[in-house]
């Protein structure tokens, strides 16, 4: 990491950057985890480097702000990916994030009631590892089902199942999963008013199978049999986001907010990897 702190020599015309993307990502990760302003992140990173006894330059706050707009954050990768890896069980959910701006300042300074602006954060989590494998950020009026395809497109490798709450009970979700992963199961609870399809007797769909199982055994039995209860793990990931990163977005443009989300995903996955023990067979 120390050797990769400085940017590689530029081979084209233009100014030579001082800091590599890794250095900028490190500073932005500190900013996200400790919920700091750019100037505060600059100071904290400088203190950490000084305590480590390293002679590394620290990106100033203006550089962080400028480079944060164009940073390419590494995409989440499955730690178990390989030729012999098993297909992923993808869990999806969404939550709202507040946009931090002048409204928050007015409320704190003058007690003025303001109408909050929101963005919806959609996450796809690996049921086995708990890592966030896909994320999208949309306006608050976009429904969950619209993001099933974009989340699946970010997942490398095969998907064994797609699990979400009742908000994903739409034909386009089943069609999107079948188009990308024909063998994948769609584990979504049908609505209480749901009825079987016209081909339920001759060519039942996955949704028809869910409806039949619920009618014969009850909804709780269906949840146990289908593996729907694993969805609690994506809810835990949402809670981890709110506890570590917070429930606000500080960037002022959608492009910067997307990078802010990508940095947060990278930080949470890194923390999860560092906290997971490794096992080695000794006998």
Q: What is the pLDDT of residue 102?
A: 56
List Cβ neighbours of 105 (8 Å cut-off, separation of 6 or more): none
Q: What is the pLDDT of residue 223?
A: 95
Of 148, 131, 130, residue with least CA distance to 77: 131
Of 150, 154, 123, residue with least CA distance to 264: 123
Residue whose pair of structure tokens reads 């302003």 in the numeric block? 37
Q: What is the pLDDT of residue 99?
A: 86
Q: What is the pLDDT of residue 79?
A: 61
> Coil, strand or helix: which one is 220?
helix
Q: What is the pLDDT of residue 84?
A: 64
- What's the CA gap between 248 and 282, in Å, rounded? 46
Q: What is the pLDDT of residue 234?
A: 96
| Cα-based distances in Å from 23 to 68, 108, 240, 245 | 11, 34, 25, 20
Q: What is the pLDDT of residue 162?
A: 97
Residue whose pair of structure tokens reads 């694993």 in the numeric block? 230
240 class by beta-carbon count within 10 Å (0-12 exposed, 13-18 middle, 19+ buried)? middle
Provide the residue ranges of all domains of the chain, joining segments of one domain with +.
1-72, 88-258
Alpha helix (H) residue ranges in 69-160: 102-110, 148-153
- What's the CA gap between 162 and 177, in Å, rounded? 8
Q: Which helix (H) or strand (E) holds 4?
A: none
Q: Which helix (H) or strand (E) holds 188?
A: none
- What's the CA gap between 220 and 271, in Å, rounded? 34
- What's the CA gap between 93 and 240, in Å, rounded? 13
| Cα-based distances in Å from 155 to 13, 39, 63, 123, 187 | 36, 35, 32, 11, 18
CB neighbour burial string for 73-101, b if at least 16 within 10 angstroms, e if fewer: beebebeeeeeeeeebbbbbbbbebbbbe
Q: What is the pLDDT of residue 23?
A: 94
Q: Quote the Cα angle for 127-128-133, to 5°.
A: 60
Residue whose pair of structure tokens reads 């809810």 in the numeric block? 235
Of 168, 173, 172, residue with least CA distance to 190: 168
Q: What is the pLDDT of residue 13?
A: 78
Segment-wise mean pLDDT, segments of 10 residues, the chain, 283 residues: 81 80 95 95 95 93 93 82 77 92 58 71 96 95 94 95 95 95 96 90 93 95 95 95 94 92 96 85 78
Q: What is the pLDDT of residue 6?
A: 87
Helices 38-51, 21-34: crossing angle, 10 deg rounding: 110
Q: What is the pLDDT of residue 110?
A: 62
- What's the CA gap between 248 and 44, in Å, rounded? 21
- Phi, psi of 222, deg, nearest 5: -65, -40
């Amino acid at each position: 990491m120390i050797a990769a702190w400085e940017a590689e020599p530029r081979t084209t015309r233009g100014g030579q950057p001082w800091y590599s993307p890794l250095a900028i990502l490190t500073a932005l990760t500190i900013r996200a985890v400790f919920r700091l302003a750019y100037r505060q992140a600059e100071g904290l990173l400088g203190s950490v480097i000084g305590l480590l006894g390293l002679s590394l330059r620290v990106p100033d706050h203006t550089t962080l702000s400028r480079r944060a707009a164009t940073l390419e954050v590494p995409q989440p990768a499955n730690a178990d990916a390989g030729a012999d890896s098993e297909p992923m069980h993808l869990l999806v959910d969404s939550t709202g994030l507040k946009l931090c701006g002048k409204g928050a300042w007015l409320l704190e300074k003058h007690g003025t009631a303001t109408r909050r602006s929101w963005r919806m954060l959609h996450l796809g989590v690996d049921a086995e590892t708990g890592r966030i494998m896909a994320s999208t950020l949309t306006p608050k009026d976009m429904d969950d089902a619209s993001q099933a395809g974009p989340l699946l497109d970010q997942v490398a490798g095969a998907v064994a199942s797609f699990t979400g709450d009742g908000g994903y009970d739409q034909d386009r979700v089943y069609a999107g999963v079948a188009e990308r992963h024909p063998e994948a199961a769609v584990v979504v609870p049908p609505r209480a008013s749901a009825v079987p399809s016209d081909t339920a007797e001759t060519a039942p769909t996955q949704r028809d199978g869910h409806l039949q199982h619920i009618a014969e055994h009850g909804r709780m039995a269906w949840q146990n049999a289908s593996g729907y209860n694993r969805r609690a793990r994506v809810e835990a990931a949402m809670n981890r986001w709110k506890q570590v990163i917070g429930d606000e977005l500080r960037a002022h443009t959608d492009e910067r907010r997307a990078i802010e989300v990508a940095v947060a995903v990278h930080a949470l996955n890194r923390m999860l990897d560092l906290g997971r023990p490794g096992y080695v067979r000794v006998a």
